Structure 1
């Protein structure tokens, strides 16, 4: 079973495909890097639903924080490097030092701050390798994801515009069609 952060780390450490993705991402040697969002969330939900096969991911999100070079072209070059090792993986590399402009937000101070501002608590997760060990960041904890609860992060509860974006996003994602135990919650 999966109950806490240690269980999530163990789960990932036992998945050779995920470890290979983490090692490939680490190879880029990016500052404040994480593989995040659905990469972590989907694994947890797949295991808790006792799926025999991994649910396909629309992308593998690799984020990092480098205010010294916010040119989007560099992100594409990192994606191309990752594609050399894993040409079938839909890589998405984003420098969080520039993403505040895309999100019409104040500048982020780190990748973890950016993850904390993801729309759902169950998706606000990231993992990386540090000296060979898995590190997990979960700014809002792991209780929502392990209990199948999808709810807006505090940041997305701050304004009606953000809350509406959250509602539209979870409607389009339709996670319950894949993972039947998921419960989508509104602002509570």
Structure 2
């Protein structure tokens, strides 16, 4: 049995080094990162489950793509037209394998449709990083991209929730339902996970 919690509670520098090593050992993730860099979308990141799911799989001895529903890619283009985003979606999809499917979003546009879809306002953002800050669970708030200097990580709440297999809410927005719905799905795939409930009002 694997010691899946071997990095839980460790020094942040140790966790980041382990995180980088796990990413480097995934041919899927390293390939996706190289492809995204070559496409040169503005302020673009692979985010969320396409990253941390592979970390959980590595630590629990599961196949690296186990449980990965899609590849979420955030980018930030000040052009707010749907047509420009749609062209970007088709361009990126053509350069990635068909499975897992690509979910590409221009984070500059989210405030235009979010309230109609989810029934609450969403702030107008100024970068893709700000969108990562607003994930319903702090655990999910991680992004990675390749730059000329190498692998860049963005994890505004640190990596300990990921390494502790702990689903921790992020009450920056009222995303209680999303936090618990995602937790239910993930705990079915990774029973090692624990859920921190949404804080009481």
In structure 1, the partner of 2:47 is: 36
Are residue 111 (structure 1) and residue 92 (structure 2) matched?
Answer: no
> Moved runs in structure 1, 4+ residues, more than 4 A?
none
Unaligned runs of 5+ in 1: none
Deviation of 1:169 after TM superposition, in Å, equals 3.9
Asked if structure 2 preserves the Cα contact closer than 8 Å seen for 1:121 and 1:145, the reply is: no
CA distance in 2, matches of 1:52, 1:60: 16
Deviation of 1:134 after TM superposition, in Å, equals 0.9
Are residue 99 (structure 1) and residue 110 (structure 2) matched?
Answer: yes
Residues 1:128 and 1:51: Cα distance change in structure 2 (over 3 Å): same
In structure 2, the partner of 1:150 is: 167
Per-residue CA deviations over 1:68-92 (Å, capped at 9, x if unaligned) read x122333332232233333413111
CA distance in 1, matches of 2:53, 2:64: 11
Residues 1:84 and 1:162: Cα distance change in structure 2 (over 3 Å): closer
Residues 1:162 and 1:85: Cα distance change in structure 2 (over 3 Å): closer
Matched pairs, number: 181
Asked if structure 1 preserves the Cα contact closer than 8 Å seen for 2:108 and 2:124, the reply is: yes
Return the match for 1:135 from 143, 146, 152: 152
TM-score by length of 1: 0.86
Deviation of 1:132 after TM superposition, in Å, equals 5.3
Deviation of 1:110 after TM superposition, in Å, equals 1.2
User: CA RMSD of the aligned region, Å?
Assistant: 1.9
TM-score by length of 2: 0.81
Deviation of 1:14 after TM superposition, in Å, equals 2.2
